[in-house]
Amino acid sequence: MELDFEKIIPREEWMDTVRRLRAMAQLCRQTAAHHPDRSWKLLAEAEYWEHLADGVLLARPEQCETGCATIN
């Protein structure tokens, strides 16, 4: 049985989720630039948020044909 992702999560919500996760990663990177003493932790957290965003992208492979690299 194949899942229909459009019925589970509408495309707009899916795209918004990816944008929010990437925004969190960017915020961590920006904060790391201003707090060198905590940069290692913040950069690791940024990697975590990017990993979550990638997971969302991989859950919707049909959307990647339309330009996953441009979702920021």
Q: Using one digit for the tens of pLDDT, what is the confidence trace for 12-47?
A: 888 899 999 999 999 999 999 999 999 999 999 999
Helix 39-59 × helix 11-34 angle, to 10°: 170
Binned at pLDDT 50, 70 and 90, residue 68 comes out as low
Distance CA 66, CA 22 (A): 18
Instruction: List the chain domain ranges.
Output: 11-61
Can you give the pLDDT at residue 1? 46
Cα dihedral across residues 8, 50, 17, 28: positive or negative: positive
What lies within 8 Å, CB to CB, of 40 at 6+ separation is none
